[in-house]
Amino acid sequence: MSTKACILIVEDEPIICNFIATTLSANNYKVIQCNTGKEAIALIPSHCPEVVLLDLGLPDMDGLNLLKEVRQWTGIPIIVISERDDEKSKVLALDSGADDYITKPFGTSELLARIRTAIRHNTRLETGHTFPLNTFKAKDLFIDFNKHMVNVNGEDVHLTQIEFKLVSLLAQSAGKVLTYDYIITKIWGPFAVKDNQILRVNMANIRRKLEKNPVDPEYIFTEIGVGYRMLEDD
Ligand code: CA
């Protein structure tokens, strides 16, 4: 990377803020920090950071409201940093426009991986020509979207129409968690009953077909109570 990617940290706890800032600087990112929502709203348009790391519990506003406001004028990648471990706030954050979330306490490598994924997705969207993807490859999984072809280890996998749609949806957003509601709306339409049962059944069938060990998947991961995430492509 020739120019350093700029990351804005919006976090009011100095220890966490400094830990993240030190980690990112050491990994060749340019870092801007602030500790209120108001400052963040001013800094995003003036500095155009590549990624925003957003704490949900800010002194002057709820991070979710900040998220919704910022989403009205920019698609900039936002990763929510939350100590709220409950599934509901993760889902709310994702459905309010967050690209990803990371729960405190988190490790350095997890943080860096999430940032890399967010930057990659955004670059892809901006350059346009590789998005949507024509093909997808992660480890031994290969998908050709135009030919409706999925294979694992060189062997063709036969998926139903719905299963193929599900795998495609996850693969096009590989590395990102997609919430149950988002997936159901995309596959079964906006008026579908938000019932996870049909989704779970389909996912179980997909896993039987794709994974060596469906209980310990290597391609499609469950984010319990939140949704599913496809392994990032190579
Ligand atoms: Ca906080």
Tokens of 52: 């925003």
d(CA 209, CA 198): 17
1, part of any domain: no
Which residues in the chain land under pLDDT 70? 1-2, 84, 127-131
Q: What is the pLDDT of residue 194?
A: 78
Q: What is the pLDDT of residue 1?
A: 45
Q: What is the pLDDT of residue 36?
A: 97
Ligand 1 centroid to 83 CA: how many Å? 8
Give the strand pairing for 149-152 and 155-156: antiparallel
What residues contact residue 106 under an 8 Å CB cut-off, 6+ apart? 81
Residues 26 and 91 in one domain: yes
What residues contact residue 25 under an 8 Å CB cut-off, 6+ apart? 31
Q: What is the pLDDT of residue 128?
A: 61
Residues 75 and 17 in one domain: yes
- Polymer length in residues for the chain: 234
End of a domain among 97, 127, 157?
127
Ligand 1 centroid to 81 CA: how many Å? 9
Ligand 1 centroid to 80 CA: how many Å? 11
Ligand 1 centroid to 48 CA: how many Å? 23
Residues 149 and 212 in one domain: yes
Ligand 1 centroid to 106 CA: how many Å? 15
Residues 112 and 23 in one domain: yes
- Contact yes or no for 57/195 (Cβ under 8 A): no
Host domain of residue 68: 6-127
φ, ψ dihedrals at 32, nearest 5°: -120, 140
Q: Cβ-count burial of 165 within 10 angstroms (0-12 exposed, 13-18 middle, 19+ buried)? A: middle
Local structure of residue 222 (DSSP, 8 states): E
d(CA 17, CA 80): 13
Ligand 1 centroid to 205 CA: how many Å? 41
Q: What is the pLDDT of residue 32?
A: 97
Degrees to nearest 5, angle at CA 135 with 183 and 1: 95
Residues 115 and 31 in one domain: yes
CATH number at residue 204: 1.10.10.10
Structural domains counted in the chain: 2
